Chains A and B, each alone.
Chain A
């Protein structure tokens, strides 16, 4: 009798433990962080730092990270395959909130869950408009837009004394990038920006490294400053699918450009460039994570949370190159860059 009771109690313990286990798992809010690019990309690293500032405080959350890695493999079939795999991860994990970062994650995965009854979408890093993804009419989506900090960039051109306006006339800009969708969206935004008294002389997109080199070589005389957004999709040649490494592109550019080059992303300096006034990845991640926690903890509907835009920027500097280009910035820039460990000596 005692033996039988003991057996029943053990069975009760095992089944009860499993039930508690299942219940605990089911009750944990689930967040899927879906990145368009790879974990080793410096932009993604910064966004993750911002996300973790908030999500690390939420011990009860189950957070899963998925990287589509499409900066390294930007081909259409790679994007479609990554989209299929990401949607499967979403279906399997069934998150309460998807934090989708950058445009490919929206285009190939998150937009398929617009107006989903259970899954909410928080987007970040969208360079263009939200309409193509249907978020403007969605009841379950909100997020933060990624906008280049162009006022700060214009001020940096002025502060650097590259062109002393109004005496020296307005500085002429050459905007250059690769042919990726995010760069095209960025360029649209750059063209619409009121740069006065700086003027945009030319906007060029390069598909290959040869085209890039030709644009950089022929820039003097037509422009005074070059602004670059991204260059990770440059192929070795028109016939090749081999991507030229960002470090190689920047090394060549800094070594051959007669004009100072300024990046609109911090990675330009990390890749070997002189100066960058970049969108803050930390801000993108932190704001997106805060929106997600508001949705989960307070039950706020995403449609009641307005879409926000970038308000922060970060400065990246490489003093040796600034010196070689004879660019002198006020000490405040150096102090800001140093405070964020972005002063690369």
Chain B
């Protein structure tokens, strides 16, 4: 794209595009329940009646203030740091040629669009028809299979089964925690921390951020989130704090990283970009560091909203 737009290598346009691509895929990962596997671990750690409440749509509703703050922070920061004077001309013929190369939308692609549309519609109207989203998803999968949009071979090979097994294992781990009473044990031994969490949640957030920062120096994102959630969420339940608020805060803070080695998907991104090598990594990392502080700010900005929702 940088080449097509005639941007300068290592220039603001190239770096801006890199930031946009990366942030676009990661910034709102905690905002949607289904956007990241580890979100389901947090969901699995919620008490039963909270799970019934924090279905896909209400999760989005409860996280909306954080999502909005993060999006605004991103646009403000991006316009401040990545504004540039480069003039970019999009050649219409070039776009037309590329569209021609892609060809018309195929039936398989239409089925994907239709499947997504039906799923979104079903989620948005769940209050009326009362069908849980997983059943809608199963019905869509069934339709894709019987109509042949997804054949048996693809079903076996294209679905990330190892990941699903991993996810089931992680969620099962949470159940095991509860079953053997490890959650109660933690809560009983961390009474003071629970009391601190309840009486001064605003101060608890930076403490939690510091704890997560230290763990993240050596431990990957998902593992950090699982460990922190397994400790703090049962403690929140025992202390009368909404477990989702704590779990969601851990999700947002757990995504913070300062050094490239801390973020596996950034390393993948860098590897992909290494072939073209045209963005300014130092500027990229500076932007990322400031966005980390925006994440903490977004949590604080959500406090009044969570209070209004009766969550805090």
What is the interface of chain A, defined by CB distance below 8 A to chain B?
A: 7, 10, 14, 17-18, 21-22, 25-26, 64-67, 69, 72-73, 75, 78, 80-85, 88-89, 92, 94, 241-242
Contacts A14-B143, A72-B240, A73-B240; A64 near B53 (Cβ below 8 A): no
Instruction: Please tell me if the beta carbons of B195 and A21 are within 8 angstroms of each other in the complex.
Output: no
What does the 1/0 interface line of B124-142 toward A look like (CB < 8 Å)?
Answer: 0001011100010001001
With known contacts A81-B310, A83-B310, A241-B195, A26–B147 Cβ distance under 8 A: no
Chain A residues with CB below 8 A from B290, complex form: none
B17 CB-CB contact with A under 8 Å? no
B199 touches A241 (CB 8 A): yes
In the assembled complex, how far is the CB of residue B289 from the closest CB belonging to chain A, in whole angstroms?
Answer: 35
Among B143, B191, B195, B310, the residue within 8 A (CB) of A88 is B310
CB of B204, distance to nearest CB on chain A (Å): 15
Q: Are B49 and A65 in contact (CB under 8 A)?
A: yes
**Chain B min CB distance to A16 (Å):** 12
Q: 17 A-B contacts, Cβ less than 8 Å apart?
A: A10-B147, A14-B146, A18-B131, A21-B131, A21-B135, A64-B52, A67-B49, A72-B240, A73-B240, A81-B311, A82-B310, A83-B310, A89-B52, A89-B53, A94-B127, A241-B195, A241-B199
> For A17, A22, A82, A92, which residue has the most chain B Cβ atoms within 10 angstroms?
A92
Q: Is B96 an interface residue when CB atoms closer than 8 A count as contact?
A: no
Q: Is B1 an interface residue (CB 8 A)?
A: no
A-chain residues with CB within 8 Å of residue B272 when the two chains form the complex: none
Residues of A within 8 A of B58 (CB): 92
- Residues on A with beta carbons closer than 8 Å to the beta carbon of B274: none
Inter-chain CA distance A26–B131, complex, in Å, is: 10
Alpha-carbon distance A318/B127, docked complex (angstroms): 50
Nearest CB in chain B to that of A86: its residue: B310
Tell me the minimal C-beta distance from B161 to chain A in angstroms.
Answer: 25
Residue pair A84, B310 in contact (C-beta under 8 Å)? yes
Distance to closest chain A CB from B70 (angstroms): 24
Query: Main secondary structure on chain A at its contact with chain B?
Result: helix
How far apart sit A67 and B312, CA to CA, in the bound complex (Å)?
17
A66: chain B residues at CB < 8 Å are 49
Cα(A242)–Cα(B198), bound, Å: 11
Q: Is the CB of B131 within 8 A of A78?
A: no
Q: From residue A98, how far is it (CB to closest CB) to chain B in Å? A: 15
The answer to whether B130 and A25 have CB atoms under 8 Å apart is yes
- Determine the distance from Cα of A73 to Cα of B131 in the docked complex, in whole angstroms: 33
Residue positions of B touching A, CB distance < 8 A: 49, 52-53, 58, 127, 129-131, 135, 139, 142-143, 146-147, 191, 195, 198-199, 240, 242, 309-312
List residues of chain A with CB within 8 A of the CB of B309: 84
With A85-B53, A89-B53 as given contacts, are A25 and B310 in contact (CB-CB < 8 Å)?
no
The 5 closest A-B pairs by CB, nearest first: A84-B310, A73-B240, A81-B310, A25-B130, A22-B129
In contact, A7 and B147 (Cβ under 8 angstroms)? yes
User: How many Å lie between the Cα of A225 and that of B58 in the bound state?
Assistant: 53
Please, how many angstroms separate the alpha-carbon atoms of A14 and B136 in the complex?
11
CB distance from A92 to the nearest CB of B (A): 6
A21 to B143, CA, bound (A): 16
For B135, the chain A residues whose CB sits under 8 A away are: 21
Nearest-neighbour CB distance to chain A for B284, whole angstroms, equals 41
Tell whether, in the assembled complex, residue A18 and residue B139 are in contact, meaning their CB atoms are under 8 Å apart.
yes
Shortest distance between the CB of B7 and any CB in chain A (Å): 48
Contacts of A78 in B (CB 8 A): 240
CB pair B240 A14 closer than 8 Å: no
User: In the complex, which residue of chain B has the Cβ closest to the Cβ of A89?
Assistant: B53
**Separation in Å of the A329 CB from the closest CB of chain B?**
36
Chain A nearest CB, measured from B247 CB (Å): 16
Q: How far is the CB of B110 from chain A (nearest CB, A)?
A: 14
CB–CB A88/B53 < 8 A: yes
Indicate if the CB atoms of A14 and B310 lie closer than 8 Å.
no
- Alpha-carbon distance between A94 and B127 when the two chains are bound, in angstroms: 9
- Taking a contact as CB atoms closer than 8 A, the residue among B142, B195, B198, B311 that contacts A14 in the complex is B142
A81 CA / B147 CA spacing, docked (Å): 48
Question: Would you give the shortest CB distance from B183 to chain A, in whole angstroms?
Answer: 13
Known interface pairs A67-B49, A89-B53; 9 further A-B residue pairs with C-beta atoms within 8 A, sorted by A's residue number: A7-B147, A17-B139, A80-B310, A81-B311, A83-B310, A85-B53, A89-B49, A241-B198, A242-B191
Report the separation of the CA atoms of residues A25 and B131 in the bound assembly, to the nearest whole angstrom: 8
Residues of B within 8 A of A82 (CB): 310
Residue of chain B at shortest CB distance from A84: B310
A22 contacts B49, C-beta separation under 8 Å: no
Give the docked Cα–Cα distance between A110 and B96 (Å).
61
Measured between beta carbons, the chain A residues less than 8 angstroms from B311 are: 81, 85
Bound state CA distance, A260 and B79, in angstroms? 76
Q: In the complex, what residues of A have CB within 8 A of residue B191's CB?
A: 242
In the bound complex, residues from chain A placing their C-beta under 8 Å from that of B198 are: 241
Residue of A nearest to B52 (CB): A64
Question: How far is B147's CA from A65's CA once the two chains are assembled, in angstroms?
Answer: 40
**Least CB distance, B126 to chain A, in whole angstroms:** 9
Specify which chain B residues have a CB less than 8 angstroms from the CB of A7 in the assembled complex. 147
Contact B129 A25 (CB under 8 A): yes
Chain A: minimal CB distance from B233 (Å): 15
A85 and B240 form a contact (CB under 8 A): no
Q: For the complex, what is the distance from the CA of A241 to the CA of B197, rounded to whole Å?
A: 13
A18 and B138 alpha carbons, distance in the complex (Å): 11
Closest residue of chain A to B130 (Cβ to Cβ) is: A25
Question: Given known contacts A78-B240, A84-B309, A241-B195, is B127 in contact with A92 (CB within 8 Å)?
Answer: yes
Measured CB to CB, the nearest residue on chain B to A81 is B310
